[in-house]
Amino acid sequence: MKVGFIGLGIMGRPMCKNLLKAGYEVVAFTPNSKDALADVVACGASAAKSNADVAANCEVVVTMVPNSPHVRAAVLGKDGILEGAKPGLTVIDMSSIAPLESKAIAKECEKKGVNMLDCPVSGGEPKAINGTLSIMCGGPKEIFEKYKDLLLAMGSSAVHCGEGHGAGNTVKLANQIIVAANIAACAEAYSLSTMAGVDPRQVFNAIRGGLAGSTVMDAKVPMMMAGDFKPGFRIDLHIKDLNNALDTGHGLGAPLLLTAQVQEMLYWLHNNGCGNDDHSAIVKYYEHISGTPVREDAV
C-alpha cells in the first residue's frame, strides 16, 4: 500500500517514520520544513512536490497539521489533495480540529468521490515517537476497518467512535478537556503542598498509586518538579483545542466551566512568553500567583 503523509511537525514526523518502520511505502510532503522532509526521505520516504502530488500517487493520504484552516488548505486549497485525487482515495485526517469543520471538509470530499476519516490522536510527542498513540476515529466503519492496521502502525489503540464525520474530533475534545483540567489540578495541589512545606516528591510518591493517580500525573508532575517544560504538547496547541471545545460547547449549549477557567490560565501563559512550553507549564501560573516555586528543591 502506498501511503501519503502530509505534515511533518512535532507529531507528524515520528508518525511518518513509524509507517516506514512498519513497511509501508510513503510519499511525504510538508510545506514549511525542508529539514523535516529530508529527514523522512533519509528514512525511506519519497518526497512529493505538493499536496496534490501526494494524492495523485497514493490510495490513502494521512494529514497531520495544526488546525482547521490548515486541514482545509491541505485538502481543498490550491494544489490541495482534491486537485490530485482519483475517486476512491481516502483521506485520514489525524489533526485535532473542530468537529463541524471535519464534517464540512468530508462533505466536499464526497463530491469528488473521496472518502474521509477524522482520526485525531492523544499521547503527545513521546507516544508519537514510540508508536503508542491513542487514536479516535470518526466516519464510515468499513473505511475505518480497511485502514485500522495502518493506524495501528502509529498507535497502540484505534477506536471507532461513530459513523458520523467529526465523531473522532468530538472525542478528542473530551480528551483535551480532561487532560487540561487534570494538569491544572496537579499544579494546584502541588502548589498547596509545597507552600505547606511538604516535599513534592513525597507527595507524588504517596498519591500516584491511589485514586488520584493518573497517566497525566505520571507524565507531567515530574516535569513540573524538574522545571523541564520541553514541549511534548505545546500550550499554544492546547489553547487551540480548548477553543474548539468551547466553540462546540457554545453551539450545543453544553456548560464547560472548568474548560473556560483552564483556558484563561493557558492564555495568561501564552501572553507571558510560555506558548511554546509543554502544557505542564500550567504550574508556572500557580508559581506566579503564589510566589512559591514547585520544584524538587523547593522545600
Annotated catalytic residues are 172
The 3-state DSSP class for residue 114 equals: coil
Q: Where are the alpha helices (DSSP H) in the chain?
A: 12-21, 34-42, 51-56, 68-76, 81-84, 99-111, 124-130, 141-146, 148-152, 167-195, 200-207, 215-226, 235-252, 257-269, 282-290
Nearest-angstrom CA–CA distance, 95 and 256? 22
- Give yes or no for a contact between 64 and 125, defined as CB atoms under 8 angstroms apart: no
Please give the distance of CA 135 from its chain centroid, rounded to a whole number: 10
Residue labelled with grid coordinates 512545606: 197
